[in-house]
Homo-oligomer: A and B are copies of this chain.
């Protein structure tokens, strides 16, 4: 079995920390990368502050296989991610000719073009991340992948990386829905978790149609083993007189 490949997400932006904007990039990144065999292990939301961005990037980049950042690569004064990444790596910030050509193909007055060309600045040595929306590209510096914060653009950039990244075993989820309280099956779950150390069993209560219930999520790389554990959980729920539902492999 190959080793796990891990990732850390850095969400850069005051608008997330103020609560003005609801982040949706973490869940999209986690699901997409997970499907590619890259496990998101950590995530941080940090403000548009130079020292914090630099220190955070340098703290996490040796600790995970991949770092994915979103936000701060637009044309305005508060878009400082590219220069922070350059400083984190101790390299110059240069104008990338490919990004500049893409930006310049849409005419604009000189001062507007100057602002737009801010988006062409990348750390020396960076590789480009394509942007299928046609806008300026993102970039990768070593294992740090720098993408837009706008979800539609981030998702487009990420899609262009499909097949380009190193991957490990895919962690699958197998879920069972039970209209039973968490406490009623807690002992059975704990025993099963002890017996099957290679899987992670999570328990998520819900309330729907005036009934309490629990979704049991079994995560691991061996789908046959996930099905086995799901069967054991089903049996434990049935022993309580309830009828569980096997949801099979889920996100």
Contacts and interface: CB of A to CB of B under 8 A. Distances in A.
A19 B15 contact: no
Contacts of A150: 205
A202 B14 contact: yes
A169 interface: no
B26 A182 contact: no
Number of chain A interface residues as a range: 35 or more
Interface string A73-96: 011111000000000000000000
Contacts of A251: 19-20
Given A45-B43, A204-B21, A182 B75 contact: yes
Oligomer copy total? 2
A27 B15 CA distance: 10
Interface stretch (A28-36, A156-164, A223-231): A28-36
A195 B16 CA distance: 25
B181 A112 contact: yes
A166 interface: no
B23 A26 contact: yes
A118 interface: yes
A202 B15 contact: yes
A40 B20 contact: no
Contact of A17 (B14, B23, B30, B190): B30
A243 interface: no
Interface of A: 14-24, 26-32, 34, 40-48, 74-78, 108, 111-116, 118, 150, 171, 173, 181-184, 186-187, 189-190, 193, 200-205, 217, 219, 250-251
